Amino acid sequence: MHGILLDHARSARIGLPEAVFCEHKSLRAVRDLLEGPGLDPEKPLLFTRLAPEVFRHLPETLRKRYVYHELARTAYSGVLPKKEKGRVAVISAGTADGRTTWEAANTLDYLGISREVHEDNGVAGLWRLTSNLDELNSFDVLIVVAGLDAALASVVGGLSGKPVFAVPTSVGYGMARAGETALAGMLVSCAPGISVLNIDNGYGAACAAARVINLISA
């Protein structure tokens, strides 16, 4: 299988299974994984950064065996057992952040973790966030996704005592610098205790949240 060695023991070590990052892999390598270990009913794989143009090149019979989300670019043939405890809210500044928002949400679905997505909570209309604050605080973990100045992370971190995992996105004009400004803004947040992921890394944020949920579920 093109020298690809899967880390089958990862779940036992850290409580999270291996996922397949598809970007930059050859079509043949991706297809081999989708046709093989990706269809394992006991240990289905999550595929991330699986571009729509790549997915469309696959045989229809294979595509039909997967749940594919075009915006998030994620795919899986099955999900892991449902967690009995723990819920995650994925909060985005705007629908322009949708690719990263839904990558996080679909990763949580795959991991068997209950989640809700709350889009369009940007601080330019702060009432949208504050009107839902009681509901958001009912969740165990908050994932905050934002581009531009990424101020949403500081606001959520200052209004909620729940674990906050912040994800900067590459959304924005000019000085947004493909997410570097959002990343810097989150890293220098005055709200203490915020954890910051890499730019556009919704998958990583979902895995960080899953580590907390795993403790709750233990």
Would you state the pLDDT for residue 130? 87
pLDDT in tens, 176-197: 999 999 999 999 999 999 999 9
Question: What CA–CA distances, in Å, run from 204 to 106, 145, 207?
Answer: 12, 12, 5
Which contiguous run of DSSP H or E holds residue 40?
none
**DSSP H helical segments within 122-179, as ranges?**
127-130, 133-136, 151-159
pLDDT in tens, 105-123: 999 999 999 999 999 988 8
Would you state the pLDDT for residue 139? 97
Average pLDDT of the segment spanning 143-169 = 96
Helix (H, G, I), strand (E, B) or coil at 155: helix
Distance CA 156, CA 73 (A): 27
**Token pair of 60 as six digits:** 């229809």
Q: In the structure, what pLDDT confidence band is assigned to residue 215 with cuts at 50, 70 and 90? A: very high
**Which of the two residues, 209 and 41, has the higher pLDDT score?**
209
Q: Which CATH architecture has domain 87-217?
A: 3-Layer(aba) Sandwich (3.40)
Residue type, 157: G
Contact 16, 10 (CB under 8 A): yes
Q: In the structure, what pLDDT confidence band is assigned to residue 2 with cuts at 50, 70 and 90? A: low
Q: Which residues are within 8 A (CB) of 58 and not within 5 positions of it... i.e. 6 or more apart?
A: 31, 34
Would you state the pLDDT for residue 181? 96
Residue type, 173: Y
Would you state the pLDDT for residue 124? 84
pLDDT in tens, 67-105: 999 999 999 999 999 999 999 999 999 999 999 999 999
Burial of 75 (0-12, 13-18, 19+ CB in 10 A): buried
Beta bridge pairs of residue 75? 47, 68
Of 8-12, 58-62, 115-119, the one with minimum mean pLDDT is 8-12
Domain assignments of the chain as residue spans, ordered by start: 10-76, 87-217
